Structure formats: structure tokens, C-alpha cells
């Protein structure tokens, strides 16, 4: 039996977070934690002379922003079990110290497939990160798999 859901949920933002401030110290700590030494991300003086005119966060910093408190309870579920099946991150614009980043989440896609273990339903939740200027800085697609 085909998976049933209300198609109107596709594309509708179901949660939006409050702006989360980005401090230079946050970027520094993140770089230390992953061993990042590129001066574009770690050295304000060197970064000022670089292509971005100042310090920016490493691209993977985008995944440190937390979803809203109700994110997981709002994700559509199919079946009894499931797991996080991975993430795709699209980096659009640099994140800089002083930015205020907010996340808006919507269901991008729901699809079924079959594999060695049987049929599965995948729900793709797209979290779009925007800064205080409404500029999109990244998209994070969370892939959740459910099994009956």
C-alpha cells in the first residue's frame, strides 16, 4: 500500500527558530574543535586581506545551528522505526561574526523505495539558514528513513 500523506505539507514551513548570534569566539572554538587552521577562518588580520574582507566561518559551521525545540516531534513519521539517513549541506554564502542566523524548516520531499531490508519511506526536511539581511547562507537537507 502506497504511503499516504497530505501533499499540502510539502514546502510548508513548520518551524522557524529565533535568530542565533554568531560570535568570533564561536568560530574560533569550532575551528579548534575540528583542527581547522586556514587563516581565512582563524586569523582576523589575514582574513581581512583575503577574498571575503574579514573573518568567516568554515562552511561546516552551518551544521552547528540547532533546530527548534519541537523539530523532531513535527517531522512527519511513517511506520514504527527509523533513523537519521544522512544530511546534504549546500553552502550558499559565508557566515560571519556578528551574523544573526535563523533556521526555517519545511518538508522538501517524501518518497518510497525498496531495498534489501524491504520498503522504506524517506522524508527530506530542508532547513534554510538565513542571516539578519534575509540572505540565505546555507540549506541543510536532513534525510530521515522510516520502516513499517
Partner 1 sequence: MATTLDLHCHSEASEDSRAPVEAYLNWIKLRRDERPLDGIVLTEHRQFNRDADYRALEDRFGIMVLNASEVETDYGHMLVFGVNDDILSRFDFSDIRLNAQEVIDGVAAMGGVVVPCHPGRPNIGLCDHYDKKPPLENVLAVELLNGGSRKGEDQRSAELIKRHGFRATGGSDSHLVSLIGLCATRFEARVRTIEELVSELKGGRFEAVDFRPRRSAVPRAIPVEAR
Asked if residue 113 binds partner 1 (CB under 8 A), the reply is: yes
Burial string for 79-109 (b: 16+ CB within 10 Å, else e) reads eeebeeeeeeeebebbbbbebebbbbbbbbe
| CA 17 – CA 59 distance, rounded (Å) | 20
Candidate residues 111, 135, 136, 148; the one interacting with partner 1 per rule CB under 8 A = 111
1 vs 45, beta carbon nearer partner 1: 1
Q: Which of 7, 35, 51, 118 binds partner 1 (CB under 8 A)?
A: 118
**What is the radius of gyration, based on Cα positions, of the chain?**
18
Q: Which of residues 79-108 bind partner 1 (CB under 8 A)?
A: none
Please check whether residue 39 is in contact with residue 46, taking contact to mean a CB–CB distance below 8 angstroms: yes
Is residue 117 within the footprint of partner 1 (CB under 8 A)?
yes
Q: Is 59 in the site for partner 1 (CB under 8 A)?
A: no
Q: Give residues in contact with partner 1 (CB under 8 A).
A: 2, 111-119, 122
Amino acid at each position: 500500500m502506497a504511503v499516504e500523506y497530505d501533499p499540502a505539507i510539502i514546502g510548508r514551513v513548520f518551524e522557524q527558530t529565533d535568530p542565533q548570534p554568531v560570535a568570533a569566539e564561536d568560530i574560533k572554538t569550532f575551528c579548534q574543535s575540528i583542527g581547522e587552521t586556514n587563516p581565512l577562518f582563524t586569523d582576523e588580520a589575514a582574513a581581512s586581506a583575503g577574498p571575503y574582507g574579514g573573518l568567516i566561518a568554515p562552511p561546516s559551521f552551518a551544521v552547528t545551528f540547532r533546530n527548534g525545540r519541537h523539530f523532531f516531534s513535527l517531522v512527519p513519521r511513517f511506520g514504527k522505526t527509523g533513523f537519521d539517513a544522512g544530511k546534504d549541506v549546500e553552502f550558499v554564502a559565508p557566515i560571519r561574526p556578528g551574523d544573526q542566523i535563523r533556521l526555517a524548516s519545511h518538508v522538501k520531499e517524501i518518497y518510497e523505495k525498496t531495498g534489501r531490508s524491504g520498503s522504506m519511506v524517506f522524508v527530506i526536511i530542508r532547513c534554510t539558514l538565513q542571516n539578519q539581511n534575509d540572505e540565505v547562507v546555507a540549506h541543510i537537507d536532513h534525510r530521515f528513513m522510516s520502516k513499517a
